Amino acid sequence: MQLNITGRHIDITDALRGYVTSKVARIERHYDHITNVHVVLAVDKPHRIAEATIHAGGNEIFADAQSNDMYAAIDALSDKLDRQVIKHKEKLANHR
């Protein structure tokens, strides 16, 4: 799995990179066919925004989250992606 992390108006520190990597690894436990994950972390003055696009098995899964704290935004993003990946996996299992 390839992980790309981009920062808009924010420097991606090693701590942020490690935190995002650990959260994405948690999502990968649910579905093995994830090929590429692109995470964008942005600062829009009062808010911190985290967005992610996952390429999995020919499909794209997108989620975003906002918070006043970047780590809280990443947590919310991770939870959303987790639910979407599980839903995608269940959809595939029902078609078989």
Question: Is 58 inside any structural domain?
Answer: yes
Q: Is the pTM of this model over 0.85?
A: yes
Question: Is 93 inside any structural domain?
Answer: no
Q: What's the structural domain count of the chain?
A: 1
CA distances from 65 to 4, 13, 18, 34, 93 (A): 17, 19, 19, 21, 28
| pLDDT band of 36, cuts 50, 70, 90 | very high
| Strand 34-44 with 47-56, pairing | antiparallel
**Roughly what angle, to the nearest 10 degrees, separates helices 70-95 and 14-28?**
20
Identify the CATH number of the domain in which residue 67 sits. 3.30.160.100
At residue 38, does pLDDT exceed 90? Answer: yes
Q: Are 5 and 37 in contact (CB under 8 A)?
A: no
Question: Is 94 inside any structural domain?
Answer: no
At residue 57, does pLDDT exceed 90? Answer: no
